[in-house]
Amino acid sequence: MFGTGPSDRQLALPTAAWRVGGGVVRYDGNPMDVHLLSAALLLAQKDGGQSGGAGSILFLLPLLAIFYFLIMRPQQKRVKEQRALLSAVKQGDRVVAAGGIVGTVRRVEDDTLSLQVADNVVIKVDKGSVSKRLSE
């Protein structure tokens, strides 16, 4: 009033205009107010910002079942078959190791196998590298 303090115009806080119409929210204000914009978008939803929790769960259950039967279950079956193969390998078996190396098992140790791949040529390979047993 008497020139000693800031005028009303200087103290006025910036205001923003929220317009909701036709499912579209427009914000005509400070772009830094991201939290307010998120809240406005949630409130502008047709169902008042609440989503169906039961519907979400019912949608996810078939997806999880498909994931299990198409991915997890076949992988577990392959792992089980590989473990059975490795535990059944014995001396004299013909096997295929990593990289397509074909040989006859000469010695079985805890984690390794000695394979004879040619006359007087014996190599040592990891047991886990055996991919299959060849029938004679």
Query: Thinking of the domain 90-136, which architecture would CATH place it in?
Result: Roll (2.30)
| CB-CB contact of 134 with 96 (8 Å) | yes
| Kind of pairing between the strands at 132-134 and 17-21 | unpaired
**Could you tell me the residue ranges of all domains in the chain?**
14-50, 52-88, 90-136
Tokens of 122: 């014996």
pLDDT, average across residues 74-98: 93
* Whether pLDDT at 117 is above 70: yes
Torsion angles phi and psi, residue 128, rounded to 5: -70, -15
Lowest-confidence segment of 57-61, 88-92, 94-98, 103-107 by average pLDDT: 57-61
Lowest-confidence segment of 43-47, 51-55, 66-70 by average pLDDT: 43-47
Distance of CA 72 to the CA centre of its chain: 13
